[in-house]
């Protein structure tokens, strides 16, 4: 039987992949854009654990690869890695602390950085790109931008309770 949280993650991830491909390019700043499909991945991984995050990340990454038309397999590897890394912060005793505190934004930043850096490393077409520019422009800045949007998401889920 399919877990309801798994199905929620995939459906929300699919919707956010569509938003990512269609609408997010309009709010990008100097080709730096947030990556929205990682929000449900981080949230539900902190609720359900590392294996859940790895598998969900792979499926959302596959959807991203198909819809975006980018490097096929790059999204699968990068998002499953982000889900795996986020799963390290999972603890049954700390679910409320992880989801309803500042730590959610920190975990989101770490997951987005790992996704953005790995995906950019795999799909870098320009051989003159330096390692430091890859870390800064393709890793840290998108992670910071996604964390700002994640802070809004955090305010929404913290006000809900």
Identify any residues that bridge with 158 across adjacent strands, giving them in sequence order: none
Tens-digit pLDDT profile for residues 67-108: 988 788 889 999 999 999 999 998 888 887 777 788 889 999
Question: SS3 of 67, please?
Answer: helix
- pLDDT, residue 158, reads 65
Distance CA 64, CA 51 (A): 20
> What pTM was estimated for this model as a whole?
0.89
CATH pick for 4-21+30-160 out of 1.10.3470, 2.60.120, 3.90.1150, 1.10.1760: 1.10.1760
Query: Which of 18-22's residues contact partners 24+ apart within 8 Å by CB, and which partners?
Result: 18/67, 20/64, 20/68, 21/67, 21/68
Task: Kindly list the domain boundaries of the chain, sorted by start residue.
Answer: 4-21+30-160
Q: Show pLDDT as tens, one digit a residue, over the chain (161 residues).
A: 467 878 888 898 899 999 999 998 888 888 888 999 999 999 999 898 899 999 999 999 999 999 988 788 889 999 999 999 999 998 888 887 777 788 889 999 999 999 999 998 887 676 777 888 888 888 899 999 999 988 888 887 666 65
- pLDDT, residue 144, reads 92
């Amino acid at each position: 039987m399919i877990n309801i949280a798994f199905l929620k993650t995939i459906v929300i991830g699919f919707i956010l992949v569509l938003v990512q491909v269609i609408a997010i390019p309009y709010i990008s700043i100097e080709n730096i854009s947030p990556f929205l499909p990682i929000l449900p991945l981080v949230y539900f991984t902190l609720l359900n654990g590392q294996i859940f995050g790895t598998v969900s990340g792979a499926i959302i990454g596959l959807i991203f690869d198909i819809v975006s038309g980018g490097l096929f397999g790059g999204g699968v590897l990068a998002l499953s890695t982000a889900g795996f890394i986020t799963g390290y912060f999972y603890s049954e005793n700390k679910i409320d602390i992880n989801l309803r505190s500042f730590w959610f934004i920190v975990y989101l930043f770490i997951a987005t950085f790992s996704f953005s850096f790995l995906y950019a490393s795999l799909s870098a077409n320009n051989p003159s790109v330096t390692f430091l520019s890859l870390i800064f422009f393709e890793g840290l800045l998108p992670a910071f931008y996604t964390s700002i949007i994640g802070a809004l998401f955090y305010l929404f889920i913290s006000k809900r309770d």
